[in-house]
Structure 1
Amino acid sequence: MASGGDIKATFKLFATKNNGAEATSKDITRWCTDAGVFGKTCNSNNLDIAFSKVKPKGKNTITVKELDALIAELAKKYKDDKKCDEAEAVTKIKEKMSNTQPKGHGTTKTSKTGNVGKMTDASQYTGSHKERFDADGKGKGIAGREELADNSGYVGNYKGEGSFDQK
């Protein structure tokens, strides 16, 4: 069985509010998902209900103090998945949760199809899109997106700019 200090240290890893002192329902859901606590009957809906029961009135977060009560509420459904009594379910949940490290959720993955390479290679662009990039493939910024007008006061096709006052 894991000691109480381990689960408190792990709580700080998953808690996102108040410098790791408070955790939201989303933080606890992520923690239970990473720990493998959820099953058929013990799921995130049950966790949300248990979270609502143990959180202080008017707050959206819990502290380490409320964690034991949350685990006890969660154990009521967890025992049905694991076919054990409630005390054993609490022990199993605490052990799983204390031995869990946060995993990277929402990390960017590279494409397996290979079509992305063509989209990011500016040398293969044609038409007006080709004008948006220089020879190195770097974007030209606004100069590449808009046809900038010459506001010098001369007509567009007049070739003798600056020669009016010269005689």
Structure 2
Amino acid sequence: MARSLAEAFKQFATKADGKEQTTADFTKWCKDAGVVGKNCNSNHIDISFSKAKAKGARNITFENLDALITEMAKKYKDDVKMGEAEAKEDLINKLSGAKKLMHGVTGTMKVGGVDRMTDTTLYTGAHKERFDEEGKGKGLAGRSDVVDNTGYVGGYKNKDTYDKKEK
């Protein structure tokens, strides 16, 4: 069953227990409904909002909504390539069916913190050296640098080859 425009208005309203909407509320409602386009953009929504609200008021009520949608339909018709009356009807249908979406919110992870911390594939840099190929910890050898007192420099590749060349 389709939701009524009044229920949708109340869901997106943040003022006076769902009885009033600010311009930000209405703009968010339009974005979530998918009615924002090239001609009917947020600037046009703000202008339409200013024309539709009561003189001296900062917000709109549900009674002002019909005038606001009528004003928006003038530009929205160019985006959807239809007449103004059909555009108004389409606006009403889209706004009625809009669901409030979360913007700018990071989603929750399905994996717990312990699982992420014990997943050795996520470690980088010096920390990945603490684990062997199978993902098991190396213990003390993985946490500290073992000093090699053979007399060779760390990057020297030909260790133990001098004696073999002489013989």
TM-score past 0.5 threshold = yes
Instruction: Structure 1: give runs of 5+ residues left out of the alignment.
Output: 112-116, 118-123, 125-167
The equivalences for 1:95-134 within 5 A come to 95-109=93-107
1:49 to 47, 63, 86: 47
Q: Number of aligned pairs? A: 110
1:8 to 6, 9, 15: 6
Percent identical among aligned pairs is: 53
2:61 to 53, 60, 63: 63
CA RMSD of aligned residues (A): 2.0
TM-score of the pair, normalised by structure 2? 0.62
- TM-superposition CA deviations, 1:75-125 (whole Å, max 9, x none): 0000011111100000000000001110112212579xxxxx8xxxxxx9x
Instruction: Structure 2: give runs of 5+ residues left out of the alignment.
Output: 110-116, 118-126, 128-167
2:23 to 4, 25, 28: 25
TM-score of the pair, normalised by structure 1? 0.62
Runs (4+) of structure 1 exceeding 4 A deviation are none
SS at match of 1:19: helix
Q: Distance in 2 between matches of 1:77 and 1:100?
A: 20
Q: Distance in 2 between matches of 1:79 and 1:18?
A: 32
Q: Distance in 2 between matches of 1:25 and 1:52?
A: 8
Q: Which has the larger radius of gyration?
A: 2
